[in-house]
Structure 1
Amino acid sequence: MSPKTRKLANRRSHLPVVDHLNEEDHYDLVIVPMRKNRVSEILPALAANKFIPTFLFMMNNAAGQQEFIDALGKERVMAGFPHPGGFKKGHVMHMMPVEEKKPMALPIGEVDGSVTARTREVAEVLSSMRGFRAEIRTDMDDWLKTHVALLIPTLAPAVYACNTDPEHFAATRDAHVLLKRALHEALQATQNAGVTITPPGIRAIERVPEPVFVLMVSKIAKSPTFENVMGHF
C-alpha cells in the first residue's frame, strides 16, 4: 500500500464503549465481528441476556450457525460477513478504505434463508454506514462455506509456504500453480459436500488457463488488497 493510500486510510474514531454485556441491557441489534474460534468464549454472556432480539454473527464460518442457534435460539441469530476484512496490529485495525460512491457489499441473511421484516431492518441499519451497503442473501450458509473454501485450504497454505512474505509469494510461481490446483479440488470437495458454490461465477476461475492464472496472481500479490489479505494470516 502506498504512503498516500495509508494516509487516506488512517482514521481515528471515538465511540462509546462498554466492557461487558449485562443481562438486563437492551439493544436492538448486536453485531459480533469476531474470529469463529473465539465466539464460544462469549456465547454464555450473550445467551444470559434475554432482551436483545438479534445477534448478527459476521466472520469466516464453515461450521454453520447451529452452535449459535443452540445458545441463543434460531429467532435471534443472523449470519453475515464483514467485508472488506482486515487485521489488528497493536491497538490499530488495518483494513482497505471504503468509497462512498462505490459502497462495499455486506452479505447478510437469516439462518433459514427467509427474508423478513427483521432482515430488511438490519440491512437498512448496515446500509446507513458510509461506504457500505447490505446485500440480503437467502444462501448465507453456502456463501460462507464457499468463502472459506477459497481461502483456508488454498490461499493460506500457499502463503505460509512462502513464509507469509508478500514479495516471496508474488515471485514464487510454484505457489501460484499449487494454489490454482488446490482451488479446483477445494471447490469440487465443497460441492460434493452438498454446498452450492456461491456466487456461481466463482467456478469460472477453474476455466482460466494455468499460465494466465499464475500471471494474474503474481500481479494481485503486489496490490494493496493483497496486503490486507496477508494480514489475516
Structure 2
Amino acid sequence: MKIVIVGPGGIGSTFAFQLARAGHDVTVVARGKRLEQLRRDEAIVSAAGERAAVRVSAALDATTEWDLALVTVLASQVDAVLPALAASAAKSVMFMFNTFEPLSRLRDAVGSARFAFGFPAILATLDDGKLTSRIVARGMVTTVTDPAWAKVFAGAGIPTVVHQDMESWLRTHAALVVPVMVAVVTAHTRQAGVSWTEAMSLARAMEEGFHVVRQLGNTITPEPMAMLSRLPTPAVATLLWMVSRVEAVRKTGAAGPGEPRTLIDAIAAAAPGQTPALLAIRP
C-alpha cells in the first residue's frame, strides 16, 4: 500500500514506523524541527535505535494516488491541511484525532466516498526525534470506521476494531479524556499527582461531559465507557488521582494544555451555559 501520513508526531510516527516495518510504502509530511529530523534520518527512529525507512516531504503531493492519507494532526491544526487533502488524489482520507465537533464538515471536504475516521489507542512521545510508543493491544484498542483499513493496521501490529457511530464514540471519548488530560498536564507540570480536591473537580467535569453527549443525542459508547459513566463520582476521582501518579502517563503531559483547552471549548460551544464544571478545569 502507498500511504502518506500528515502529522508525524508521536501518533503519526508510530503508524509510520509500524506500517513501514510491515512493508508498506510510507511517506510522512512534516514541518519545522520534525521535518529536519526526518530528512536527516530518512527513517522513523525509536528510542531503542530501531529504524523504519520512510520517504519525507514538506507538503502533500496532490497528484499522487495514495491508497491512504492518514491525518494525525491536532483538531486545531486540521483546517490548515484540509484544502490540500480536498485537492489530493488520495483514494481514502482518514482523520485520526480528538474532536467533539460533528464529522460532517470533514466528510464534505474530502467527499463521503473516501472519508474515514479513526482514533489511536497509542501512548507515544518523541524525545529529540526518537520515538517511544506503547500500542494498546487489549480492551480499548485503536478504532476506525473502515474495515479494510482496520485489517491493514492490525496486520502492521496495531490491533484495530471497527465502530460505525464514530461521532458518538469521539464525543464520549472527549468527555472522558479531557479530565484525564488536565490531570496529566497538571501532574507533569508540578511533577506530582493531583490532589483529592482536584480529582473530585475533574470527576465532576467528566460527568458533565457525559451529560452533554447524551443531551446532544449521541450514545455513550463503547460499553466500557458507558460503564464508567455510571460510576459514582468518588470512584472516578480515585481513578484520576491514581492515573496522575503513573510516570509513563504523566510523561505525555509534556504535550501541554492546548488539546484539552480546544476540546473543552468545543464541548462548551455545543452546550452553551451548561458546562460550568468543564470550564472550571480549563487549563
Question: How does the TM-score come out when normalised to structure 1?
Answer: 0.77
CA separation in 2, counterparts of 1:137 and 1:179?
A: 28
Name the counterpart of 1:107: 143
Give aligned pairs, total.
210
- Structure 2 unaligned regions, length at least 5: 1-45, 257-283
Residues 61 and 145, structure 1, Cα contact 8 Å, conserved in 2: yes
Distance 1:23 1:211, change over 3 A: closer
Name the counterpart of 2:211: 188
Q: Which of 224, 243, 248 is 1:201 aligned to?
A: 224
CA apart distance, 1:147: 0.8
Q: Does 1:122 align with 2:149?
A: yes
More strand by share: 2
CA apart distance, 1:54: 0.2
1:138-149 correspondence to structure 2 within 5 Å: 138-149=164-175
CA separation in 2, counterparts of 1:78 and 1:88?
A: 26
Counterpart residue identity of residue 31, structure 1:
L
1:16-165 correspondence to structure 2 within 5 Å: 16-19=54-57, 20-49=59-88, 51-96=89-134, 105-109=141-145, 119-130=146-157, 132-152=158-178, 154-158=179-183, 164-165=189-190
CA apart distance, 1:59: 0.6
- Structure 1 unaligned regions, length at least 5: 1-7, 110-118
Q: What percentage of aligned pairs have identical amino acids?
A: 24
Counterpart residue identity of residue 133, structure 1:
P
CA separation in 1, counterparts of 2:200 and 2:140?
A: 30
160-169 vs 193-202, which moves further: 160-169
CA separation in 2, counterparts of 1:108 and 1:125?
A: 11
Q: What is the CA RMSD across the aligned residues, in angstroms?
A: 2.8
Name the counterpart of 1:113: none
